[in-house]
A and B are shown apart, each in its own frame.
Chain A
Amino acid sequence: MPLVSNILSSSLGQKYLMALSGVGLFGFIVVHMLGNLTILAGPAAINEYAAKLHSMGPLLWIARIGLLGMVGVHIWAAVRLTRDNRKARSVQYQGAVDPVDRHRRSKIVSTYASRTMIYSGLIIAAFALFHIAHFTWKIPQINGVEVDFETFYVYEVSAGSDQVAYLTPLPDGVGKEGENAVDVYKMLTTGFKVWWVSIFYVIAVGLLCIHLSHGLSAMFQSLGLKTKAYEKWIDHFACATGWLLFAGYASVPVSILLGFIP
């Protein structure tokens, strides 16, 4: 198939794959943040949201496999492209960038975000792995507290005033993965009370948003959708989205650490 080989083996094709997998992952980033923010509406809201998400069954698995595939493609393309780029420019200039038109320096020097995409990306990938081990696999050895998140479950139905749906915890040892609703609220408030978990989280989402501030605008260029007419809008959109996502993500651990969310 010439089409497939033209995509896989050319630098432009790899850039397309990078951009398209980036679009998909960006979609996940947005939805995940909106989901996280349900915590601001109280414990019942986020627990119910999580239970609904888990009840999607096969759809959830399709989404997970799709995301994993996109992560794979994104990293594969990134590693190949970065390797080619390093090879293409193996000698650096000794002279510091100092154009005779001094005001043009900022146009010639690449942005911090664009130079560090591979590093921010790999750190985010490492964080994502920790994040999944922490809150999805709930490995007790890495959560930094004495309790096991695997024991946090809530009732899904209300029965009188002492059993409120998505609020009242199940007795210890009763809940079962896949059968009972997880007490996400308790897991987050317990998990993010650990200062280093929160700090790692904030640093990682900060890097993610720096990554996106370049990635979101470069994505348009790689797909041939950026022109001077829209350039400013696209760049402002990328920058603003980066900050909005940072605010949205960081607000959860920060609120928990500062005690705004009990």
Chain B
Amino acid sequence: MNLKLKVWRQENADDPGHFGIYMVQDIAPDMSFLEMLDFVNENIIADDGDPIAFDSDCREGICGACSMVINGVPHGGQQGTTACQLHMRHFCSGDTVTIEPWRATAFPVHRDLIVNRTSFDRIQQAGGFISVRTGSVPDANATPVPKEDADLAMDAAQCIGCGACVAACKNASAMLFVAAKVSHLSLVPQGQPERERRAIAMVKQMDKEGFGNCTVTGACEAVCPKEISIDFIGRLNREYGRAILKKGNA
């Protein structure tokens, strides 16, 4: 199949950037989106050009490194799929495909399609962990966790921190990410001692990084490759309220 690619090209963070147009021939429908970009880069390199820079790591949909907005939708808009697991068979020969980096003030563009996502790391460092060693795998049932809570914690723990929620949100809000991280630890016994401190610190860091606010449009949930539910945002709103009431005067 043949495609016309409109790809965002930007030398570095200070470059204003522009769209590069690439007419690509003979794309195999079985290629993943990233393999297709590799293929394009091979041709660019053969022509002595500058290859398109993009993030990728595991290429099996679990690391969260790939980050590109394909036709206005982070990860291309296939349900529960990262860009690396999106295959070219979903496109038609002759299509024009627009590829852009995540757009958010808190995710400055590093080069081409690569954005700097260390703001997510700093949110995690603010409280998304348990400070003490909680031991290796415990004996079964030594620490009872209700099945519902365990399931819910696992749903939240699925977040791979790719940033698609921020990229999709019209306000570039990181609420879904922070909600998943806060909920994940607040649902299990090991997370209880730091529960309030964690919620307050992570929300504070989120605000400091310059992410926007939740307008409840649901775009984050719709594009999340791990299908994290927007319910967790409601949970974060409860967690934060609970935390500031309990720790209000501490």
A88-106: CB near B (< 8 Å → 1, else 0) gives 1111111111111100110
Residue of A nearest to B244 (CB): A6
In the bound complex, how far is the Cα of B216 from the Cα of A111, in angstroms?
Answer: 10
B227-244: CB near A (< 8 Å → 1, else 0) gives 001110111111111001
CB distance from B42 to the nearest CB of A (A): 24
In the bound complex, how far is the Cα of B78 from the Cα of A105, in angstroms?
Answer: 10
Q: Does B204 contact A (CB under 8 A)?
A: yes
Q: Which of A204-224 contact B (CB under 8 A)?
A: 214, 217-218, 220-224
**Contacts A11-B203, A13-B244, A97-B73; A117 near B215 (Cβ below 8 A):** yes
Determine which of A10, A92, A101 lies in contact with B204 in the assembled complex, contact meaning CB atoms within 8 Å: A10
**Interface pair B213/A94, CB less than 8 Å apart:** no
Residue of B nearest to A93 (CB): B72
Interface residues in A, total, Cβ within 8 A: 53
**Interface pair B78/A100, CB less than 8 Å apart:** yes
CB distance from B234 to the nearest CB of A (A): 5
**Interface pair B203/A10, CB less than 8 Å apart:** yes
Chain A residues whose CB sits within 8 angstroms of the CB of B222 once the complex forms: 104, 107-108
Chain A residues whose CB sits within 8 angstroms of the CB of B218 once the complex forms: 107
**Interface pair A3/B73, CB less than 8 Å apart:** no
**Interface pair A114/B76, CB less than 8 Å apart:** no
Chain B residues whose CB sits within 8 angstroms of the CB of A1 once the complex forms: 248-249
**Interface pair B76/A99, CB less than 8 Å apart:** yes
Q: Does A201 contact B (CB under 8 A)?
A: no
Among A56-64, A142-150, A225-233, A248-256, the one that faces the other chain is A225-233
Determine which of B72, B204, B210, B231 lies in contact with A88 in the assembled complex, contact meaning CB atoms within 8 Å: B210
**Interface pair B73/A224, CB less than 8 Å apart:** no
Determine which of A85, A99, A110 lies in contact with B213 in the assembled complex, contact meaning CB atoms within 8 Å: A85
Residue of B104, B213, B231, B238 ringed by the most chain A CB atoms within 10 A: B213
**Interface pair B237/A15, CB less than 8 Å apart:** yes
Chain B interface helix/strand/loop/mixed: mixed
**Interface pair A2/B247, CB less than 8 Å apart:** yes
CB distance from A7 to the nearest CB of B (A): 7
In the bound complex, how far is the Cα of B201 from the Cα of A261, in angstroms?
Answer: 59
**Contacts A97-B72, A101-B77; A14 near B233 (Cβ below 8 A):** no
Q: Does B29 contact A (CB under 8 A)?
A: no
**Interface pair B73/A98, CB less than 8 Å apart:** yes
Determine which of A95, A96, A115, A227 lies in contact with B231 in the assembled complex, contact meaning CB atoms within 8 Å: A227
Chain A residues whose CB sits within 8 angstroms of the CB of B219 once the complex forms: 107-110
**Contacts A2-B250, A101-B77; A218 near B215 (Cβ below 8 A):** yes
Residue of B nearest to A19 (CB): B237
Q: Does A12 contact B (CB under 8 A)?
A: yes
Chain A interface helix/strand/loop/mixed: helix
In the bound complex, how far is the Cα of B72 from the Cα of A180, in angstroms?
Answer: 63
Q: Which of B108-144 contact A (CB under 8 A)?
A: none
Residue of A nearest to B19 (CB): A94
**Interface pair B235/A224, CB less than 8 Å apart:** yes
Chain B residues whose CB sits within 8 angstroms of the CB of A10 once the complex forms: 203-204, 207, 240
**Interface pair B249/A90, CB less than 8 Å apart:** no
In the bound complex, how far is the Cα of B79 from the Cα of A82, in angstroms?
Answer: 30
Chain B residues whose CB sits within 8 angstroms of the CB of A96 once the complex forms: 71-72, 98
**Contacts A95-B69, A101-B78; A221 near B213 (Cβ below 8 A):** no
Determine which of A3, A15, A214, A228 lies in contact with B214 in the assembled complex, contact meaning CB atoms within 8 Å: A15
In the bound complex, how far is the Cα of B216 from the Cα of A117, in angstroms?
Answer: 12
Q: Does A155 contact B (CB under 8 A)?
A: no
In the bound complex, how far is the Cα of B152 from the Cα of A228, in angstroms?
Answer: 13
In the bound complex, how far is the Cα of B241 from the Cα of A109, in angstroms?
Answer: 29
Q: Does B105 contact A (CB under 8 A)?
A: yes
Residue of B71, B170, B216, B218 ringed by the most chain A CB atoms within 10 A: B216
Other A-B pairs, 20, CB within 8 Å; known A10-B204, A15-B213, A95-B99: A1-B249, A2-B250, A10-B207, A14-B213, A87-B105, A93-B72, A94-B19, A95-B100, A98-B71, A98-B72, A98-B77, A99-B78, A107-B222, A110-B215, A114-B215, A217-B216, A221-B214, A221-B233, A224-B241, A227-B234
Which B residues lie at the A interface, using CB under 8 A? 6, 19, 69-73, 76-79, 86, 90-91, 98-100, 103-106, 168-173, 200, 203-204, 206-207, 210-219, 221-223, 229-231, 233-241, 244-245, 247-250
20 A-B pairs with C-beta separation under 8 A:
A6-B200, A10-B207, A12-B236, A13-B244, A84-B213, A85-B213, A89-B169, A92-B103, A95-B99, A95-B100, A97-B72, A99-B71, A100-B77, A107-B219, A221-B214, A221-B216, A221-B233, A224-B236, A226-B216, A226-B231
